[in-house]
Structure 1
Amino acid sequence: MTKQQERARARRRYEKVRRREAQRAADRARRLRVAAATGTVLVVVAALALAGWWFSQEEPASSTAQPSTAAGCVAPPAPLGTSAQLELPDKRTAEGRTFVATVTTNCGDLELTLDGAKAPQAVASFLELARQNYWRNGPCHRLTASEGLKVLQCGDPTGTGQGDPGYGFGVENAPADGAYPRGTLAMARTSDAEKGTGGQFFIVYGDSSLPDPDGYTVFGTVTKGLDIVDRIAAAGIAPGGSSPTDGAPAAPISILTVAVTEKKA
């Protein structure tokens, strides 16, 4: 074989090797492109699967009915949950005098006229509790809606109906006939007529009868804002109570602040 033939054969082997390497390089490139495309699809699928898992883990909407506010109300604040240990104020601070109280609630203002001539101890107590900010953020915890008893009871800052200011006093100015007309402001009490009156009071939004022989202290009237109580009463009793006509109001109302001034003649 001549040198020219050997060079030709060597060139052919070289070109064959180059073609084989080029093919291998092309195959590798193709495999990389396929792998990249496959990886992208897998990432997208994984992202979609993860999103589906995430949304499936979200908490479902609660089926528990939340208290609904009455017209003109905003959501009430959380109660502070505390009573107090105060001293019974001297009734002489209210004797023979008339006061006007503005009770600001999450539903608007109530205006109360307090009669210190007929119920000096109850009014003196009301003045002191207002001064101490005792009722701040306190819910009106009880609504009654029976035929003969229509009242909204407030004045317990714990919201349980068990709170008191640390003192008690006796009944004053109870109506002999047990009748409490619409707009009456009276003190709630325990079964103890001598010392069972404290910081809780009730607003009569419909003519009511309480034939208890000892009665309940009437210490004033609601002169403005009784329509607010009407709206709370119209919303009814919250479900889950012991009675459909006596329990927490379905539309919550809370005392925010109480301001009292003396009414001049």
Structure 2
Amino acid sequence: MPEGHTLHRLARRQQRAFGGSSVRVSSPQGRFVDGAAAVDGMVFAKAEAWGKHLVQHFRPLGGRARAGRRMIHVHLGLYGAFSEAAMPMDDPVGQVRMRIEGRDVGTDLRGPTACELFTPADLDALIARLGPDPLRSDADPARARDAIARSRRPIGAMLMDQRVIAGVGNVYRAEVLFRAGIDPYRESRRIDPAEFDGLWSDLVGLMRIGVRRGRMHVVRPDDDHGAPSYATDRPRTYVYRRAGEPCRICGATVRVAELDGRNLYWCPACQR
């Protein structure tokens, strides 16, 4: 599932492609016909991300008032993806849930978990159930710090809980805990304020790099050598998907276990 930096990068890309222009919106697949018709011909006002959620805002052509504005909420889930093409676009291929056509470029959405019209109340409810997003300037990390300080759950589970911190996925979870030298099974309430501040700051920095480069870069330059990445098209990681391999720092065997239904990777020597 895409992590938060992917959605923020996607929001920026769509803002550049469609922002301020009227767009044609359709549902070639037929599963979003009414929603697409509700915004078809409107001005693409902006796109923004909240954690792993994308929200597209539309306003009436020629209208600046809030009246008549509409929103589409997209959650890509495990299989969703946008593809982009120059205008005019070719006929849709496959199950295209939503097509947006602008002046110079268009985009097709396939396989999302959610693609739905949103009301302001829906957006408020979404924001209320999400933790602070490290990539948003309006994020309040104190909310996450307080939730972690009260919990007996492992910190490795809390970092993946979107109600605690929005946008963090399996890669960032494993890597920031390694970089901080924190055992993922430590009780969250045993994370002191300085450790939390370090984790939050590291997430902000790493996720901003992800937005800027379009790829996760989590290994410090001095450590970026030795064994190749877990995949040929990915930068190196410290522990993610390196189970059974030697730690890049100490040589101990990287371990893997399941935590809350997801694989958790860590170094038992470096993370105590």
TM-score calculated relative to the size of structure 1: 0.24
- 1 or 2 for the larger relative contact order (CA 8 Å, sep ≥6)? 1
Q: TM-score, normalised by structure 2?
A: 0.23
Structure with max Cα Rg: 1
